[in-house]
Amino acid sequence: MKHIHLLYSILIISMLSACNMKMDQQQHELQEPIGPSDAVLSSKIMTPEVLWSFGRIGETTLSPDGETLLFNVTYYSVEQNKGNTELYTVNTDGSDSKRITHTSFGEYNPRWRPDGQKIGFLSNESGSMQLWEMHPDGTGRVQITNVEGGLTGFDYAPDQSKILYTAEVKLKPSTADIYPDLPLASGRINNDLMYRHWDQWVDTYSHVFVADYDGTAIQNAKDIMLDEPWETPLRPFGGMEQITWSPDSKTVVYACRKKTGKAYALSTNSDLYQYDLESGKTKNLTEGMMGYDLAAVFSHDGSKMVWESMERDGYEADKVRLYILDFETGEKKDLTAAFDQDAHGLAWSKSDDKIYFTSDWHAVDQIYSYTLADGKIHKLTEGVHDYTSVMVADNGLIGTRMSMSSPVEVFSIDETTGQQDQITFINKPILDQLEMGRVEERWIKTTDNKEMLTWIIYPPGFDPSKKYPTLLYCQGGPQSTVSQFWSYRWNFQMMAANGYIIVAPNRRGLPGFGKEWLEQISGDYGGQNMRDYLSAIDFMAKEPFVDETRLGAVGASYGGFSVYWLAGHHQKRFKAFIAHDGMFNLEAQYLETEEMWFVNWDLGGPYWDTENKTVQWSYANSPHKFVQYWDTPIMVVHGELDYRIVASQGMQAFNAAVLRGIPAEYLYFPDENHWVLKPQNGILWQRRFYNWLDTWLKAN
């Protein structure tokens, strides 16, 4: 669950392409290319269909001369029930924006060739995901690789003499391999943990290959991870940001957790490994550093390397530190030791004297810089938005930015003045037709006399003289921020458009408010963070425009757990609940989930550890122990492919409600994971979500 926090800054950018690559491989025959819609909306109000018509900007990269931005955009067809991803370019001053591909196969992982003469990308055009190249204007499309099974990512060596790519390799025998006379047997033989992860069974491992490249084809491909059961990028969300070339093209650095089975399931200790192409030797650059070490970035002169580092093994929401290695001295140093925030998406200045990154503070993500000469950190942007990445162009900085009122677009940033100018307008035709609800920042006092930032989102055309049904939004993670994110499912403007006021608290356990606030939640499920939720809704219920007789609570993942817990403790506050993919029975959850480090850290350990007070507190607060107090209609949603919180958790909650005589609905998706990714399923989700809320908060 907390992976959503750990990799949030790259998820928005990379997950769209990763999900669509997977969908393209499964069903790549479209009737026609999918592109932007020019439909005129029948209403100024957001609908599920409108939400799915937005173009979703994914990976972005700058040309070698720093003047042109290459990026992909995914559009979805509800009728075809899938998406298609196309490539675009735009100058960094916002001029000459154009779409350069028009295919039904999708283009992913876009990269400028180091000489700037070609663009490389992955496409399923030949039946499997392979590397293709074309001119920057989209002409001269040529296939470069023909790797059996296809590629999952690639990158050019800086000197253009080689290409590295990632591909899935099979490193353990299948049932059919062991018993050739049973080719149709479907049984899986498992002898250790981590046999499945997120939404897939672990039958293969992602490895890094390096091949010679002559400008037209590759040859002499070599698996630099040998025949070992390691993976890079790390499952389930890692991308090519976890693998990088050194500037001299002589070494490759990759992130890897070199553990298997039970050890893998119990540890977050990934390291950065440097592979020397000439000697074939691999060196652990972060040996002895026990948490996640990810996303290495070399300085331009190759003398230094920075990366994102966590300190503690087993704690996946630990502070993300900006770490630096000096290759000449061997010294490693935490550059953000005195900075009580995370550092994501690292980028060097052209002169190697600064490091840029994004960081969340008070529920907005801004761009920051660290100056090596004096060790000072400066915030470079202001505003109610989230920056999800930062790049260095010739004429300033480039960042991808979103808010609760706008999906991701690309902006240029003047580091000196802080001026931010939008340079892509992918969704302007739709946004210009929509009326958005006002987003307001409130600071609400908690039961322990702290101040808690809470976002209030009002319906479009809000009239303070009227009374509105109101929803308490419960965040997942549990340690993922309620920042200015734009979601294609839990979309606050979508909720507000249906006539609801949304109360979204940054309760205990969320980043952006210091380490103490973040870490309080571990071992305290059902504790202070739940009181924070009640503080927020009780405060807003006193407003004259809030109908305190029509309150609902909704949430997913840890938010789903929160809804289940509140259902047994809310003391008649709420009239309707919706829980998506939530933990209901914590004892079952401990033995059903795949990443054991999560439950060990957050719950304190296994429920049979009767001597551990934290453990006993955690399991005593399991929602299933309070079903006897349930008295409010509840809707439960779950996906069969969710291996983080398995579908039986939702079934238990739904069955309990029915057996208790409580109105309930169970929306089950056999083909979705922890999220809902398919267009028609997404629209079904929205329709049933609001049908349930309208039934219990508007009809009565």
**Residues 151, 122 contacting (CB under 8 angstroms):** yes
Plot region of 653 (φ>0 → left; ψ -120 to 50 → alpha; else → beta): alpha
- Tokens 């000489």 belong to residue: 115
Tell which residue, 679, 509, 682, 698, has the closest CA to residue 580. 682
**Residues 564, 586 contacting (CB under 8 angstroms):** no
Phi–psi pair at 536, nearest 5 degrees: -65, -50
155, 293, 342, 642: the catalytic one is: 642
Plot region of 568 (φ>0 → left; ψ -120 to 50 → alpha; else → beta): alpha
- What separation, in Å, do the N-terminal and C-terminal C-alpha atoms of the chain show? 35
CA dihedral 263, 268, 271, 277 (to 10 degrees): 70
Tell which residue, 560, 556, 553, 557, has the closest CA to residue 536. 553
Residue 432 has which token pair? Answer: 């210009």
> Cα–Cα distance between 336 and 210 in angstroms, integer?
34
> Cα–Cα distance between 107 and 28 in angstroms, integer?
12
Tell me the pairing of strands 576-580 and 546-556. parallel
> Cα–Cα distance between 552 and 502 in angstroms, integer?
10
* DSSP, res 629: G
3-state secondary structure 275-292: EECCCCCEEECCCCCCCC
Say whether 557 is catalytic: yes
Sheet containing 439-445, strands listed edge to edge, beginning at the edge strand earlier in sequence: 439-445, 451-457, 501-505, 468-474, 546-556, 576-580, 634-639, 664-669
Alpha helices in 475-571 (DSSP H): 492-497, 515-519, 528-541, 558-567
3-state secondary structure 381-432: CCCCCEEEEEEEECCEEEEEEEECCEEEEEEEECCCCCCEEECCCCCHHHHC
Residue type, 308: E
Residue 560 has which token pair? Answer: 């789903």
**Residues 227, 274 contacting (CB under 8 angstroms):** no
- Tokens 């996640």 belong to residue: 292
Sheet containing 271-276, strands listed edge to edge, beginning at the edge strand earlier in sequence: 243-245, 251-256, 271-276, 282-284
Angstrom CA distances, 206 to 6, 78, 156, 410, stand at 20, 32, 18, 31
Q: Please name the helix (run of DSSP H) or strand (run of DSSP E) that holds residue 245, with its range, or none.
A: strand 243-245
9, 309, 557, 618: the catalytic one is: 557
> Cα–Cα distance between 205 and 130 in angstroms, integer?
18
Say whether 123 is catalytic: no
Alpha helices in 276-362 (DSSP H): none
**Residues 275, 296 contacting (CB under 8 angstroms):** no
Say whether 414 is catalytic: no
570, 624, 638, 674: the catalytic one is: 674
> Cα–Cα distance between 570 and 551 in angstroms, integer?
11
Which residues carry out catalysis? 557, 642, 674
